[in-house]
Amino acid sequence: MSPRRRTSAAAAASIAACACALLATACGRSVNASTTSGEVSPTHGLVTTTAAGTKPVSSVTWAVYRPVNSLDPIFAFDYPENTAISLMCESLLLQSPGGEIGPGLATVATPTPTTMVFTLKPGVTFWDGDPVTPADVVYSLDRQMDPSYGGFYGQVFNRVKSIAATGSDQVTITLKQPDYWLEGELSSMPGIIIQKSYALREGKNYGTPSGGIMCTGPYEFKSWTAGAGVTAVANPHYWNSSVRPLAKQIVIKGVPSAASFTSGMLTGAIQGSYYFGLSNLSQLEHSSAVRVYQGPGQSTDALVVSATSGPLANVKVRQAISLALDRQAIISQVYDGAALMPRWLANPGTFGYGQSVFTAAYDKSPVLNQNLAAARKLAREAGVAGQTITLGTSSELASISAETGAYQQAAEAIGLKVVLKSVSAADYINFFTSAQARKGIDGFITVNYGDYADPAALLDTLAMPGGDQNYDNFSNPQMTALLDQAEGTANPDQRAALVAKAEELAARLLPWIPNVQPTNVLMLSKGLTGAVASFSYMFAPWADHLGGTG
């Protein structure tokens, strides 16, 4: 079970600074007509890209929720690092804005189920003009796998037996057993290719402010003043001649305060961002200085079930709470409209392959609407009236405590008692990392996502025995069989059918309870266009067509 997910509890911690305070006159207002809140069709009203820019622009300041900590892909785990690295660096395979995985720096062939042969595209060069060689590829992947570097993605390569250069432009990965999920990982941070000689020269300094980086992308690393931001400039010798970057310079700047971010967008001090979880989004939507787009998201907002006994360990009680939950209130209050009602645990933006199979199955599944009568009936059958559940929360995190409040309401509506255990924002992360912190906690809120567009990327971690987010020891033979089979199934449509069945099962058994499916929010200053609008910006270049409007 590879750890194919990230947790944005840390992210939530930092954006929780109340943006609502005084800036937002429109604070807490409900959904406006232009957004698609409550829509259930996977991509209705959502855009994956924006119209390509046509004019050069001299400089763009791009905001992330905190300063970038590292530019080394082995340490890239969170929004700021991913945003900066995917701007400048490229991976072996590439995720399109729609989530499909295709050739990146290399094309892939699978002559046998346990062999992956990567052929580098001709003419692929690093920023300094040197060609990308199989040695660079082997080095980059080895660096990800080798625990002595302390990287975060080692387990992704669990099924890999060996990685070797097998030709002047060829690298072969031999697997212990088939792993059709590895292609997805190699289109994300684990597949980023860096220059071997440069990384060896810089050693531990690689990816730090003093060491810099050497990659292949359309934007080239220029400078990084810790705190002031990472500056990338257009690479005039980009190997892919079909892309000519229009922005001369892009500065990735950490803006930890949501209020400060909002005023920065309104005054033009910030020209673009994928800032998420803004409770005053509609204020920006109504400004003439800013354009707000919503694209397919890949993250899931859910209640992690960590109860191994008690009411929440009972599937009927989970179903009852899920039926009693007021998800529309979460969409309007926490996301200001930028989220969809769920049918599955997976966000429909994760359908990166077998899309027709996924979409057909998804559309047949019921929307998780509120139904108090049905919820009470289930709770009576379970006979849990008067029993107590304990939810972990943090009153310092506005969105987390608002959602915990919605759960408290739902649980009380079906006759349960709720105890809240609130910790500091900084300690919220411990619910995920420490069994000690989870002791006595039946559930807590998360926003979670996988490394690539595949519903299984997240489901695998929480519904498989031994999965690293399977805190309630959830185990269902049918689920295990479906996911195991999917990982070894080559045909995308067949794999999608298996994963879809697993998702339908998860929507019934609720190993976690899905709350809402956040969309990906892109904000651009008026006069700018061309950035990718979907969540794939986290893993693949997003500013290839960013430029001025005509």
Task: Single out the residue of 259, 372, 402, 420 in contact with another protein (rule: CB under 8 A).
Answer: 259
Interaction between residue 177 and another protein (CB under 8 A): no
When the beta carbons of 26 and 269 are compared against another protein, the nearer one is: 269
**224 - beta bridge partners?**
230
Report the nearest approach of another protein to the CB of residue 134 (Å). 25
Q: Is residue 266 part of the contact set for another protein (CB under 8 A)? A: yes
Q: State phi, psi for 16 to the nearest 5 degrees.
A: -75, -15
Comparing CB distances to another protein, the nearer of 84 and 437 is 437
Q: Per rule CB under 8 A, is residue 255 in the interface with another protein?
A: yes
The separation between the first and the last C-alpha atoms of the chain, rounded to the nearest angstrom, is 49
- Cα angle: 52, vertex 55, 57; to 5 degrees: 105
Binding segment for another protein (CB under 8 A), chosen from 8-16, 88-96, 242-250, 298-306, is 8-16
Q: Taking CB under 8 A as the rule, does residue 252 contact another protein?
A: no
**154 near another protein, judged by CB under 8 A:** yes
Among 167, 227, 383, 440, binds another protein (CB under 8 A): 227
Closest approach of another protein to the CB of residue 365, in Å: 30
C-alpha closest to that of 273 among 93, 486, 514, 532: 532
Nearest-5° Cα angle at 245, 239 to 251: 115
Q: How many angstroms separate the CA atoms of 378 and 384, rounded?
A: 10
> What is the C-alpha separation between 463 and 476, in angstroms, rounded?
8
All residues at 6 or more sequence positions from 201 whose CB lies less than 8 Å from its CB, including other chains? none
Contact set for another protein, span 38-97 (CB under 8 A): 61, 66-67, 69-70, 75, 77-78
User: Amino acid letter at 142?
Assistant: D
Q: How far is the CB of 518 from another protein (least distance, A)?
A: 17
Choose among 515, 514, 502: nearest CA to 463.
Answer: 502
Of 422, 69, 431, 391, residue with least CA distance to 229: 69
In this structure, what are the phi and psi dihedrals at residue 101, rounded to the nearest 5 degrees? -100, 125
Bridge partners of 388, per DSSP, are 417
Let me know: does 92 contact 546? Beta carbons within 8 Å. Answer: no
CA atoms of 36 and 28, how far apart (whole Å): 17
Part in contact with another protein (CB under 8 A); list of ranges 295-303, 410-418, 432-440, 541-549: 432-440
If the CB atoms of residues 205 and 388 are measured against another protein, the closer one turns out to be: 205
Our CB check for another protein shows the closer of 132 and 270 to be: 270
Minimum CB distance to another protein smaller for 25 or for 309: 25
Stretch that binds another protein, among 236-244, 359-367, 420-428, 489-497 (CB under 8 A): 420-428
Instruction: Quote the CA–CA distance of 243 and 249 in Å, as a whole number.
Output: 15
Classify residue 358 by burial, with Cβ atoms within 10 Å: 0-12, 13-18, 19+. buried
Please choose, from the candidates 2, 6, 1, the residue with its C-alpha nearest in 3D space to the C-alpha of residue 433.
6
Query: Hey, which residues does 55 pair with through a beta bridge?
Result: 548
Question: Per-residue contact track with another protein, 113 to 152, x per CB under 8 A?
Answer: ----------------------------------xxxxxx
Q: Which residues contact 38 (CB under 8 A, 6 or more apart)?
A: 31, 328, 331, 340, 341
Identify which of residues 326 and 468 has a Cβ nearer to another protein in the complex: 468
Q: Does residue number 160 form part of the binding site for another protein (CB under 8 A)?
A: no
249 binds another protein (CB under 8 A): no
Q: Which stretch binds another protein (CB under 8 A): 261-269, 300-308, 342-350, 485-493?
A: 261-269
12 binds another protein (CB under 8 A): no
Q: Of the ranges 44-52, 122-130, 203-211, 305-313, which one interacts with another protein (CB under 8 A)?
A: 203-211
Residues lying near another protein in the complex (CB under 8 A)? 3, 5-11, 13-14, 17, 21-23, 61, 66-67, 69-70, 75, 77-78, 147-152, 154-155, 204-205, 207-210, 225-228, 253-257, 259-261, 263-264, 266-267, 269-270, 425-427, 429-430, 432-433, 437, 468-469
